[in-house]
């Protein structure tokens, strides 16, 4: 299955192997250094770059008489540790090697990395109230650096970019979340703030993680092996068309349904499972199955459609399909890239016979969890002119056929792009290391909604990976939980991704900004980035800068117990717990049958809520805001919302890679 691509650009930056260190005749500091930069205050800040091997490099600064000295290595790299002063400036930094470079307008302050996918990339121009925000963006002590979107098959040696002073002339295209985060910190701390924005829309967490970390965790080994082969030249592009044709020949000869005649109108499918379409294979418990799943549906064709040209629509099939009408092959989609394309196949008039006809679909999924159909109205059989439409949504007979383990992996042309594992760590994170930072903020997760179970492992692994590379200890890492949005055919995947993000709080020195109240159920890019940036800043102010007067968290479930035919919930961070003028919304309750029903929630004393439902007399589990697009109203007195949560640990619906 293809990864969902929220604002993933159609044209990727050129994928490169690691850029070699510059072996030149003159000095070149790393690209993250420049005029107008902010250096992390009161630390030993690495200053690094390239020069001719063997050349002595000396680094000094206007705030100290101390000069640090080193020698460029055989690869041309050099690095020194420069002791930085208390917050302030402007300063200069001088570097003398085979030539001389001097950086001016340098400030000592707080430096933060801002990274993620499109909601972090989203610019001030495209956010709420852009004219007002841009006009007020005169913050001379807020400095901005944007990393160009670049992929690489191995860690890149350097990055290009420039530092700019935050002003109405420079802020328009910068990350809105990062800007509002930095603006809040500057106002509260009264120190210079440096923001390094490195993000790419539509990208999954695996792309931002190093090869070493993924291999150590046993993640995506086959994908990493292919990337390694592309990098070292042992894998080259084969004649994929021939290989795919050979795969389909094997399918025709060896796939069990093809051999058993499952497409024939008279085949007895009485022993097959009945399931309602549209659905994903996760709904069938087949989220880990790659291969062929067969579908059959008997339809009574009325006289008004008999003898007419018909159109058969079954919606998108993830990834490929063969489709029969009364035993005759009427449509097929055999190649890559059509997993979101609705199927529409012509039925010749001579096949449109009055009475019982059977539609058969062999769906072939090449990876991830498969799907047949999207919206019920997109599944129908009708005359060519659209008249006499018969709905095909609802019950079908379903049976798993041959797996890819039996038929062989689907042949694909080797490729490397922004969503390849390691691509963005190599191109957009590695070249920043070891530039001294205070911490990182992160807004990503939408591209991993279908893989929440894997995200539980991979997101904490990425955080630990960055910390291991920077060698600055467990630096602060604050992230945004994904906002409400009506993901297509969601059956709990989005809530499970939010749950996976919440579980990442077990990783030391992390914090999560909840935005359940500022999402947009019909827009995956909510425009209010000011609130998002402010909530990230609250986490930093409270947890990193020790501000005891700041409330940084919304209500967090502490415990639950049965009470009076309901379940009572108790919360931390819930002073002033409220739902405004209306009762708390988005609560559901289930009994031992695990079927959830709408519930009533009443706020009680000591930061508790009693949840009951007339449909559940013996409740055992509560879920809150478990719908993908739920926008609940529960918050504390500081106006910070509660995250979605559940009290049960029942198996989820997300694919587990």
Q: CA torsion sign, 278 to 282 to 283 to 285?
A: positive
How confident is the model over 516-557, as pLDDT tens digits? 999 899 999 999 999 999 999 999 999 999 999 999 999 999
pLDDT score of 491: 87
pLDDT score of 25: 63
Query: For the chain, what percent of residues have pLDDT higher than 70?
Result: 96
**What is the DSSP secondary-structure string of 1-41?**
-PPP-TT--SSPPPPB-PPPPP--SS-EE-TT--TT-EEES
Query: For the chain, what percent of residues have pLDDT higher than 90?
Result: 86
Q: Provide the residue range defining the domain that includes 524.
A: 28-219+420-543
Is pLDDT larger for residue 338 or for residue 3?
A: 338
How confident is the model over 161-218, as pLDDT tens digits? 999 999 999 999 999 999 999 999 999 999 999 999 999 999 999 999 999 999 999 9
CB atoms near residue 369 (< 10 Å): 25
How confident is the model over 219-241, as pLDDT tens digits? 999 889 989 999 998 888 778 88
Give the Å distances, CA to CA, from 454 to 169, 463, 640, 643. Answer: 42, 15, 28, 20
pLDDT score of 450: 85
Average of per-residue pLDDT across 496-518: 98
Whichever domain contains 379, its CATH number is 2.60.120.260
Residues 421, 424: Cα–Cα separation, whole Å: 8
Would you state the structure tokens that stand for residue 594, as one six-digit string?
């695990």
- Verify that 250 and 380 share a domain, yes or no: yes
CB of 639 closer than 8 Å to CB of 552: no
- Verify that 32 and 129 share a domain, yes or no: yes
- The answer to whether position 160 is within a domain reads yes
- Verify that 465 and 433 share a domain, yes or no: yes
pLDDT score of 369: 80
Residues 649, 622: Cα–Cα separation, whole Å: 11
Give the Å distances, CA to CA, from 524 to 70, 130, 275, 444, 528. Answer: 49, 19, 30, 12, 12
Query: Radius of gyration (Cα) for the chain, nearest Å?
Result: 29
- Verify that 87 and 159 share a domain, yes or no: yes
pLDDT score of 272: 97
- The answer to whether position 232 is within a domain reads no
Is pLDDT larger for residue 585 or for residue 340?
A: 585
Lowest average pLDDT, out of 11-20, 83-92, 372-381, goes to 11-20
CB of 283 closer than 8 Å to CB of 491: yes
Say if residue 19's pLDDT is above 50.
no
Nearest 5 degrees, angle CA 529-CA 534-CA 538? 150
Say if residue 1's pLDDT is above 90.
no
Residues 363, 402: Cα–Cα separation, whole Å: 11
Mean pLDDT taken over the chain? 93
- The answer to whether position 628 is within a domain reads yes
Picking from 597, 629, 381, the residue whose alpha carbon sits closest to that of residue 498 is 629
Q: Which of 359, 386, 407 is the last residue of a domain?
A: 407
The structure's pTM equals 0.79
Would you state the structure tokens that stand for residue 107, as one six-digit string?
């400030």
Is pLDDT larger for residue 408 or for residue 337?
A: 408
How confident is the model over 388-425, as pLDDT tens digits? 999 999 999 999 999 998 999 898 888 899 999 999 99
- Verify that 210 and 308 share a domain, yes or no: no
- Verify that 248 and 207 share a domain, yes or no: no
Say if residue 11's pLDDT is above 80.
no
Is pLDDT larger for residue 20 or for residue 634?
A: 634
- The answer to whether position 548 is within a domain reads no
Strands (E), 319-457: 320-325, 328-333, 342-347, 355-365, 371-372, 379-383, 390-391, 394-403, 439-443
Please count the structural domains in the chain: 3
Q: Please return the burial class of 222, using the count of CB atoms within 10 Å of its CB with bins 0-12, 13-18 and 19+.
A: exposed
Average of per-residue pLDDT across 355-369: 93
pLDDT score of 656: 57
Whichever domain contains 138, its CATH number is 3.40.50.1110
pLDDT score of 657: 56
pLDDT score of 16: 41
Say if residue 22's pLDDT is above 60.
no
- Verify that 628 and 508 share a domain, yes or no: no
Residues 82, 62: Cα–Cα separation, whole Å: 12
- The answer to whether position 13 is within a domain reads no
How confident is the model over 618-629, as pLDDT tens digits? 999 999 999 999
pLDDT score of 490: 86
- Verify that 255 and 367 share a domain, yes or no: yes
- The answer to whether position 112 is within a domain reads yes
Say if residue 6's pLDDT is above 60.
no
Average of per-residue pLDDT across 491-499: 95
3-state secondary structure of 537: helix
- Verify that 594 and 630 share a domain, yes or no: yes
Half-sphere CA count of 606, side-chain side, radius 13 A: 5
Q: Which of 407, 434, 454 is the last residue of a domain?
A: 407
Average of per-residue pLDDT across 458-465: 98
- Verify that 568 and 505 share a domain, yes or no: no
- Verify that 313 and 214 share a domain, yes or no: no
- Verify that 166 and 62 share a domain, yes or no: yes
Q: Which of 407, 429, 463 is the last residue of a domain?
A: 407
Cβ neighbours of residue 131 closer than 8 Å, sequence gap 6 or more: none
- The answer to whether position 47 is within a domain reads yes
Give the Å distances, CA to CA, from 561 to 545, 596, 602, 606, 621. Answer: 36, 17, 15, 14, 10
**Confidence band for 90, pLDDT divided at 50, 70 and 90:** very high
- The answer to whether position 246 is within a domain reads yes
How confident is the model over 107-120, as pLDDT tens digits? 999 999 999 999 99
Inter-helix orientation angle 176-189/529-543, to 10°:
40
């Amino acid at each position: 299955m293809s990864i969902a691509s929220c604002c993933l650009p159609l044209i990727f930056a050129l994928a490169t192997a690691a850029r070699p260190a510059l072996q030149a005749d003159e000095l070149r500091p790393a690209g993250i250094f420049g005029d107008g930069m902010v250096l992390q205050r009161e630390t030993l800040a690495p200053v690094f770059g390239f020069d001719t091997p063997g050349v002595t490099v000396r680094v000094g600064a206007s705030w100290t008489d101390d000069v640090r000295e080193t020698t460029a290595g055989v690869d041309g790299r050099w690095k020194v540790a420069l002791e930085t002063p208390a917050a302030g400036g402007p300063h200069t930094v001088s570097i003398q090697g085979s030539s001389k470079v001097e950086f001016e307008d340098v400030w000592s302050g707080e430096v933060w990395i801002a990274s993620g996918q499109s909601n972090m990339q989203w610019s001030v121009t495209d956010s709420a109230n852009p004219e007002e925000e841009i006009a007020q963006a005169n913050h001379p002590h807020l400095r901005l650096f944007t990393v160009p979107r670049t992929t690489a098959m191995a860690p890149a040696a350097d990055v290009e970019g420039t530092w700019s002073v935050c002003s109405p002339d420079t802020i328009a295209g910068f990350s809105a979340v990062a800007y509002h985060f930095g603006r809040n910190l500057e106002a509260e701390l009264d120190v210079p703030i440096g923001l390094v924005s490195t993000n790419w829309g539509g990208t999954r967490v695996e792309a931002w993680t190093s090869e070493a970390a993924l291999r150590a965790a046993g993640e995506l080994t086959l994908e990493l092996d292919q990337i390694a082969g592309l990098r070292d030249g042992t894998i080259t592009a084969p004649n994929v068309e021939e290989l795919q044709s050979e795969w389909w020949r094997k399918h025709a000869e060896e796939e069990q349904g093809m051999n058993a005649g499952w497409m024939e109108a008279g085949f007895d499918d009485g022993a097959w499972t009945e399931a309602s379409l549209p659905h994903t294979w996760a709904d069938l418990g087949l989220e880990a199955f790659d291969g062929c799943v067969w579908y059959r549906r008997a339809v009574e064709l009325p006289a008004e459609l008999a003898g007419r040209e018909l159109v058969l629509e079954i919606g998108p099939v993830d990834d490929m399909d063969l489709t029969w009408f009364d035993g005759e092959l009427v449509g097929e989609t055999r190649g890559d890239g059509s997993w979101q394309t609705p199927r529409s196949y012509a039925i010749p008039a001579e096949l449109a016979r009055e009475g019982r006809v059977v539609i058969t679909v062999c769906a072939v999924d090449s990876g991830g969890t498969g799907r047949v159909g999207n919206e019920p109205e997109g599944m129908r059989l009708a005359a060519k002119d659209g008249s006499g439409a018969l709905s095909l949504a609802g019950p079908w007979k379903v049976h798993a056929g041959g797996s890819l383990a039996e038929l062989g992996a689907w042949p694909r042309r080797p490729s490397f792009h922004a969503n390849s594992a390691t691509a963005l760590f190599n191109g957009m994170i590695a070249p920043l290391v070891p530039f001294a930072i205070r911490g990182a903020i992160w807004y990503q997760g939408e591209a991993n909604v279908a893989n929440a179970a894997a995200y539980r492992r991979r997101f904490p692994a990425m955080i630990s990976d960055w910390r291991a590379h920077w060698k600055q200890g467990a630096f602060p890492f604050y992230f945004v939980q994904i906002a409400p949005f009506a993901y297509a055919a969601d059956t709990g995947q989005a809530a499970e991704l939010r749950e996976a993000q919440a579980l990442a709080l077990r990783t030391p020195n992390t914090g999560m900004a909840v935005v359940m109240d500022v999402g947009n159920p019909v827009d995956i890019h909510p425009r209010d980035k000011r609130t998002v940036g402010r909530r990230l800043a609250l986490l930093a102010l409270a947890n990193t800068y020790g501000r005891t007067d700041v409330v940084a968290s919304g209500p967090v479930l502490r415990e639950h117990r049965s009470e009076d035919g309901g379940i009572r919930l108790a919360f931390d961070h819930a002073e002033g717990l409220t739902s405004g003028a209306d009762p708390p919304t988005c609560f559901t309750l289930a009994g031992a049958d695990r079927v959830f029903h709408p519930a009533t929630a009443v706020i009680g004393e000591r930061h508790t809520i009693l949840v009951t439902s007339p449909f559940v007399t013996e409740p055992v589990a509560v879920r809150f805001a478990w719908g993908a697009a739920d926008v609940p109203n529960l918050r504390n007195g500081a106006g910070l919302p509660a995250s979605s949560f559940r009290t049960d640990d029942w198996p989820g619906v997300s694919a587990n890679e």
